[in-house]
Structure 1
């Protein structure tokens, strides 16, 4: 659950305590190493796409990308991480899901997110099974929007991998 110490650490990463990115990367790697059956099912492990202005570092706004970047540096089992060039991008800023307060609002934000997502090279996605990493799973709207965009562009399957699940509102 996204609560207590874990929630505080996630917020610290988002507030600039980037050392947590390495710790979360080691947790992700440990989970994937301990569960090779999960990795065998996928061709690519990618971060949840984040909108970044040109030249903006991952540390600024792309927390999931930063964790995956750190995981790639530490990985000694050649897991199928894909970061650059990205398989999917978020081309414009959207309202954050955590700033919503109703199901209707979350659905509207998910539609806005879906419209902002682009797959730069559909050939790289076609027929692939892709695992999308994010720090927190709240209600599935964000992951569903990304999965839908990837599948519309030919992905075979899309899986989610998160550090924590938010408590139900």
Structure 2
């Protein structure tokens, strides 16, 4: 809930960011049927809580998702080289699916991710959304990982 309030506070105090977007979505996460969002989809859970706490009607889109991750992929934080990050990003891109491209087409989408490591995950999601017709894709992160 605290992270959701931080995100909301940032967006409320920077209306120019929100004015640019039609939808705010979480970084897609792959969940097995028995897994809970609260435990295994941190970004989705933060956005879910933000929807509940939002007083201003920000354009959050959670269910049904605009983009889905269809399978598990390597985590960026487990990579140690540029080549590993590129391979992981390629796997992520291949695992992403836009179920209804008409819901994305022409829209400006902000993707929330909890930690920005190297930008590879956000880039893969942006490329998939753009390939499905999104007009613009912006990233919003809560934290920045230290450079290794």
Q: Under a length normalisation based on structure 2, what TM-score does the superposition of the two structures give?
A: 0.98
Spell out the pairing of 1:1-169 with structure 2 (5 A cutoff).
Answer: 22-169=1-148
Q: Under a length normalisation based on structure 1, what TM-score does the superposition of the two structures give?
A: 0.86
SS of the residue 1:31 aligns to: helix
Residues in 2 aligned to 1:55 and 1:39: alpha-carbon distance in whole angstroms = 34
CA offset at residue 60 of structure 1? 2.4
SS of the residue 2:99 aligns to: coil
Residues in 2 aligned to 1:26 and 1:122: alpha-carbon distance in whole angstroms = 30
CA offset at residue 101 of structure 1? 0.9
Residue by residue over 1:128-152, the C-alpha shift from the partner in whole angstroms, topping out at 9 and shown as x without a partner, is: 0000001111111000000000000
Residues in 1 aligned to 2:35 and 2:101: alpha-carbon distance in whole angstroms = 25
Aligned residues: 148
State the Cα RMSD in Å: 0.7
List gaps (5 residues or longer) in structure 2. none
CA offset at residue 56 of structure 1? 2.4
Higher mean C-alpha displacement, 109-118 vs 56-65:
56-65
List gaps (5 residues or longer) in structure 1. 1-21
